[in-house]
Amino acid sequence: MLVLARKVGEKLRVGDEIEIVVVEVRGDVVRLGISAPRGVFIYREEIYAAIQAENVSASRIQGDLSQMKNMFTRERGEE
């Protein structure tokens, strides 16, 4: 992994279109500003990992969906 030292206000460039600026350093929290083109998505790593895991487990769905029919009906009937 490439490791670079930067001061507040200094920037990094990833390729031609992605720019990262160090906005603030306070204690152990670093605030970063990121500019990227449309189509490049930026996620906090832990959120990315959580959604990835949720996608994988949701895609393993099994069972007879007709069971759900009664449940939606029941749910609505109670409202």
Partner 1 sequence: MIINSTRIGIIEVQEQELVHFPSGVVGLTDWQNAVVVPVPDLPLLNWLQFAHDPSAAFLLLDVQALYPDYRLEFAREQAQLGQDAKVYTIVKVPNGDFTQATTNLMAPIVIEPPASFSDKRQETSDPRRLAQQVILHDFNYPLRHPLFVEEAAC
Q: Which residue has the tokens 């670079």?
A: 4
Asked if residue 19 lies in contact with residue 34, where contact means CB atoms within 8 angstroms, the answer is yes
Q: How far is the CB of 74 from partner 1 (least distance, A)?
A: 8
Please say which residue, 25 or 49, places its beta carbon nearer to partner 1: 49
Please say which residue, 13 or 73, places its beta carbon nearer to partner 1: 73
Asked if residue 10 lies in contact with residue 21, where contact means CB atoms within 8 angstroms, the answer is yes
Q: Which residues contribute to the site for partner 1 (CB under 8 A)?
A: 38-39, 41, 43, 47-59, 61-63, 65-69, 71-72, 75, 78
